[in-house]
């Protein structure tokens, strides 16, 4: 029996793992060699406000530079005006009835969806926090994880808070006497100037978990995490107008929100000490609920119930027993 002839070593049959060279004039390869082709220009981001579920520019057309911990330029953020603050309040008021009217279980589901969106942007949040605060990447990542966990924490409260702070009251007489918490309405929130993500989440989540809507003034020195959070809110199931985020000078925007007749509550966490008293006096003119700032607040500590109960009102109902 004759032995079959073996192919030569330089033929394609001898080296099947090597691709044949492309024919002249044939299709281009899938990948260009390193350094080939024109240089690509980066797509720079235009940061805007977040009002009514949309991203409008500031009515005034103004902006201000945002710098990092070491003085480097990071971005230009919109400088919100009094008109922008009014528009945000209108959007929050329009969204209030629908948001407060949802079942508590559904609000919890929506908040959990926001946490899912935040989890998908962990790297972006960590980079923004590291640049803003001048901290190491691993430290920034731990802060982002804490912020996502904090949001999940509050996502579990909407269908439980009524059982904790409400209840049946013992009365003398043939009556049922029941107390239940209800949301206050529109809350203006001055976000903390430090802890630009963990602190921000810690003041927004308890407000909306209890059925309120809010207008948030982001940290003036580090607004980018707030605007990235707005992008997560926009692609979650949160209805437009439940959270509205303004960037700019806290001292310029806060007085208009404090005196606004359609704002029901005011969180002064991000106000400077010398400004807080004046803002509280302005809020007294329309009988707002006011949460005073706490010096050196530890955002990593157990948040408790204080921020949820601050913007709840208790309704008590009497009902006769039997017929």
Residues 116-141: tens digit of each pLDDT: 999 999 999 999 999 999 999 999 99
- Cα maximum dimension of the chain: 114
Rounded mean pLDDT, 3-21: 47
Rounded mean pLDDT, 147-154: 98
The three-point CA angle 111-307-147 to 5° equals 50
The percentage of residues in the chain with a pLDDT greater than 70, rounded to a whole number, is: 88
Q: Are 193 and 219 in contact (CB under 8 A)?
A: yes
Residues 6+ apart with CB under 8 A from 23: none
Single out the residue of 298, 254, 257 nearest to residue 276, CA to CA: 254
And the tokens for 244?
């509205």
Amino acid 40: pLDDT: 83
The answer to whether domain 63-294+303-320 has CATH 3.40.605.10 is: yes
Residues 52-86: tens digit of each pLDDT: 999 999 999 999 999 998 899 999 999 999 999 99
For residue 188, the surrounding DSSP H or E stretch is: strand 186-190
CA dist., res. 160 & res. 107, Å (int): 12
Amino acid 169: pLDDT: 84
DSSP conformational letter for 89:
H
Q: How confident is the model at residue 15 (pLDDT cuts 50, 70, 90)?
A: very low
Q: How confident is the model at residue 19 (pLDDT cuts 50, 70, 90)?
A: very low
Handedness of CA 59, 64, 67, 72 (dihedral sign): positive
Amino acid 20: pLDDT: 47
Phi/psi at 268 (nearest 5 deg)? -95, 20
Rounded-to-10 torsion of CA 157, 220, 189, 160: 0
The percentage of residues in the chain with a pLDDT greater than 90, rounded to a whole number, is: 75
Structural domain spans, the chain: 63-294+303-320
Please provide the average confidence, as pLDDT, over all residues in the chain. 89
Query: Is pLDDT larger for residue 107 or for residue 273?
Result: 107
Rounded mean pLDDT, 198-216: 98
CA dist., res. 153 & res. 267, Å (int): 20
Rounded mean pLDDT, 175-191: 93
Q: Are 22 and 29 in contact (CB under 8 A)?
A: yes
């Amino acid at each position: 029996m004759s032995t079959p002839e073996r192919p030569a070593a330089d033929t394609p049959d001898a080296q099947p793992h090597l691709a044949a060279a492309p024919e002249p004039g044939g299709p281009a390869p899938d990948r260009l060699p390193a350094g080939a082709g024109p240089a690509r220009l980066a797509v720079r981001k235009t940061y805007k406000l977040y009002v009514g579920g949309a991203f409008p520019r500031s009515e005034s057309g103004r902006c201000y530079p945002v710098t990092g911990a070491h003085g480097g330029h990071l971005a230009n953020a919109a400088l919100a005006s009094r008109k922008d603050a009014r528009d945000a309040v209108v959007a929050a008021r329009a969204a209030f009835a629908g948001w407060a009217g949802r079942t508590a279980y559904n609000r919890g589901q929506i908040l959990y969806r926001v946490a899912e969106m935040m989890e998908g942007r962990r790297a972006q949040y960590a980079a923004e926090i590291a640049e803003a605060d001048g901290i190491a990447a691993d430290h920034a990542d731990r802060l982002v994880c804490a912020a996502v966990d904090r949001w999940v924490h509050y996502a579990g409260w909407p269908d439980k808070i009524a059982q904790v702070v409400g209840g049946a009251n013992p009365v003398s007489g043939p009556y049922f006497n029941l107390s239940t918490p209800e949301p206050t309405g529109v809350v203006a929130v001055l976000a903390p100037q430090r802890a630009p993500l963990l602190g921000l989440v810690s003041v927004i989540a308890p407000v909306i978990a209890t059925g309120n809507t809010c207008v948030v003034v982001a940290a003036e020195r580090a607004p980018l995490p707030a605007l990235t959070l707005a992008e997560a809110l926009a692609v979650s199931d949160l209805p437009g107008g439940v959270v509205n985020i303004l960037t700019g000078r806290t001292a310029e925007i806060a007085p208009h929100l404090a005196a606004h007749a359609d704002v029901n509550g005011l969180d002064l966490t991000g106000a400077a000490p010398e400004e807080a008293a004046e803002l509280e006096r302005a809020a007294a003119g329309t009988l707002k609920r006011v949460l005073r700032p706490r010096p050196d607040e530890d955002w990593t500590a157990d948040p408790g119930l204080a921020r949820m109960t601050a913007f709840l009102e208790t309704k008590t109902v009497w009902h006769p027993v039997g017929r």
